[in-house]
Amino acid sequence: MNGKNIMMTLALIAAIGVKAQTEVPAPQNVYARQSVSLNGDWNYFVDQQEQGYYDYRMNPTRWGYFVNAKPQRPSDLVEYDFDACPTMRVPGDWNTQDEQLFLYEGTVWFKKDFTIDNSKSRRLLYFGAVNYDAIVYVNGKMAGRHVGGFTPFCYDVTDLVKEGKNFVIVKVDNKRHADNVPTLIFDWWNYGGITRDVLLLSVGETYIEDYTLNLVTSLQESNSKKRTINFSLVLNREEAGQEVTLSIPELKMKQKFTTNEKGQINSQLLVPSSKLTLWSPENPKLYKVLLERGDEVIQDEIGFRTIETRGRQLLLNGKPIFLRGVCSHEETAYTSRRCNSAADADTLLSWARQLGCNFIRLAHYPHNEHAVREAERQGFLLWSEIPVYWTISWQNENTYANAENQLRSMIRRDHNRAAIIIWSLANETPHSDARDKFLGRLATTARSLDNTRLISMAMEVTGASNYVNRLQDNMNKYVDVVSFNQYIGWYRDVNDAPKMKWEIPYEKPVIISEFGGGAKAGLHGDKGQRWTEEFQENLYRENLAMLDKIEGLAGTCPWVLKDFRSPRRPLPGIQDGFNRKGLFSDQGQRKKSFYVLRDWYEKKK
């Protein structure tokens, strides 16, 4: 949303006297809170010309689409009826639920009825994600507007709801814009809709808004008889003297803490090293954690581990590790729709496990919380990134604010997840001074929010001189891990791979964040025939032999786990709207490259 649109929205709200609620931080661990799910069937209709929106702006007395109006007399003119409209499942994308909306980009209105009891608790309306621009109304009054398609947002709607019957209406717009994040062009499907869970939370006037538990990283700590766990907590408002009890039953730990004048707790816990089992891919140990404040009880499962670098080594729990990774989009197996549940994640994770992976790059945006938690339970290390993809509007301050908000939301939601070891800032961004400044600010923000994880980004290597690729990127001073994408064999002749040398002049671990090439499952031929499984198989053999020679190689993330939808891939009979670089087809067929990578990973254990 550019500056002009922001000012127009604010002017509109002021002119018509509609008070939008303030977006409040989504509470940590929403699924442990008292809530009512608003998932299920929502009425919807398509508004390609945004008639309701513009009618409302031009004539505020016509609440029209916003208040769910009904004719009061036979002569009344109301040109819509939510209750007579078809329904769509939420969470879900509209592209695969209504064939007429498969390629649609624009506005769709959604409406859901719900009932609340006479409880006097505070009510928060939580959305896991809406792609991309959402305007939310509760009982005909504006709750707020959120821009960004992959992160949660939340409104305090206490003053908007009432005992008994209520309704929520959401205007969802997935149109692409040059100043958005991501921008106009990206290589995945632009799924529209309310794509993640919707919850109505019940909380007290004062409640635990956020908390953090993580293991201190230091050589001295790891060699001592006791380990230190940092514990911090913040209430939703500055209130001193609130007593909070933290319990980790398996560690026989139960301590009481009191909030300071800012409504915060900052403390440390000492745990005998002999009693603490560290989380790892081989043993993804999670501890039950309880937080109690009066009647408020929050339960979580948290793993304790350390991640750090030493020279060109990557260290998990103080020991070198090689990341046997793969990239993955948030798109389901078999049905090729937007993922939104743990069950959706399970199949993709099982395919990654068959490859021998211990690491997944969640491309190119934060994936849903169910998937992150499921990966953590199953022992996968994760790379999580925001969709600063290709050429962003680097000099637009509103674009930067959008990117930073997505970064903050990603870190806020998942900072207790032991599985996530890397926050990524961007993918394949062309070099420029404006780009460096933009990404440098993001890196500084990420570091200030969480200094317990590593920072990286997928850099782009452009060309080589005499078969020597020398990585040079000004972002090297901001990242802990040097990561870059390369497509020798696909966008450059595969015969170059044996001759290619890589020079990485930074004393940091190296991850190849993408490599690979396309093949249609079941298409066979000579290894020199593009689109055949043999072509992709040979590309993987040549690339893996080349990558083995890179000094400081700490992991690889080939592109990509499975074929996925992309409007940029129209080749009839081959792509048919899919990016075919998957090691699996979208229907789960293993391509010949699968076996090459699996065997190589077996040697890396």
Specify the CATH number for the domain of residue 413: 3.20.20.80
Cβ atoms of 471 and 500 within 8 Å: the answer is no
Tell me the pLDDT band of 426, cut-offs 50, 70 and 90.
Answer: very high
Per-residue burial over 147-181, b if 16 or more Cβ lie within 10 Å, else e, is bbbbbbbbbbbbebbeeeebbbbbbbbbeebebbb
The pLDDT of residue 14 is above 60: no
CA distances from 76 to 53, 80, 111 (A): 20, 12, 22
Separation of alpha carbons 597 and 595, rounded Å = 5
Given this model, what pLDDT does residue 1 score? 41
SS3 245: strand
Cβ burial of 127 (10 Å; 0-12, 13-18, 19+) is buried
Separation of alpha carbons 94 and 88, rounded Å = 8
- What CATH number is attached to the domain comprising 151? 2.60.120.260
Strand partners, 289: 300
Given this model, what pLDDT does residue 467 score? 86
Compute the average pLDDT of residues 104-122.
93
Give the position of tokens 């009066």.
294
The pLDDT of residue 58 is above 80: no
pTM for the whole structure? 0.94
Strand partners, 11: none
Tell me the pLDDT band of 469, cut-offs 50, 70 and 90.
Answer: confident
The closest alpha carbon to 301, from 370, 377, 193, 208, belongs to 377
- Split into its structural domains, the chain has a count of 3
DSSP 350: H
The pLDDT of residue 539 is above 90: yes
Given this model, what pLDDT does residue 465 score? 77
Range of the structural domain that residue 182 is part of: 3-203
CB within 8 A of 177, min separation 6: which ones?
1, 2, 183, 184
Cβ burial of 313 (10 Å; 0-12, 13-18, 19+) is middle
| 345 and 284 within one domain | no
| Cβ atoms within 10 Å, residue 548 | 11
Compute the average pLDDT of residues 357-369.
98
Separation of alpha carbons 435 and 437, rounded Å = 5
The pLDDT of residue 219 is above 90: no
Q: Is 289 inside a domain boundary?
A: yes
Of 179, 203, 227, the residue at which a domain comes to its end is 203
| 229 and 115 within one domain | no
Given this model, what pLDDT does residue 54 score? 59
**Mean pLDDT, the chain, as a whole number?**
92
Q: pLDDT (tens digit, 9 = 90+) per residue, 155-193? A: 999 999 999 999 999 999 999 999 999 999 999 999 999
The pLDDT of residue 9 is above 60: no
Of 139, 169, 203, the residue at which a domain comes to its end is 203
The pLDDT of residue 8 is above 50: no
Cβ atoms of 50 and 433 within 8 Å: the answer is no
Least confident of 7-16, 272-281, 360-369: 7-16
To the nearest whole percent, how much of the chain has pLDDT over 90? 85
Tell me the pLDDT band of 21, cut-offs 50, 70 and 90.
Answer: low
Question: What is the number of H-type helices and E-type strands within the chain?
Answer: 9, 33
CA distances from 24 to 79, 82, 144, 154, 237 (A): 34, 28, 10, 6, 11
| 22 and 167 within one domain | yes
Which tokens belong to 315? 């260290």
Q: Is 213 inside a domain boundary?
A: no
Q: Is 210 inside a domain boundary?
A: no
Q: pLDDT (tens digit, 9 = 90+) per residue, 319-335? A: 999 999 999 999 999 99
Given this model, what pLDDT does residue 415 score? 98
Separation of alpha carbons 324 and 181, rounded Å = 29
Q: Is 578 inside a domain boundary?
A: yes
Given this model, what pLDDT does residue 394 score? 98
| 298 and 402 within one domain | no
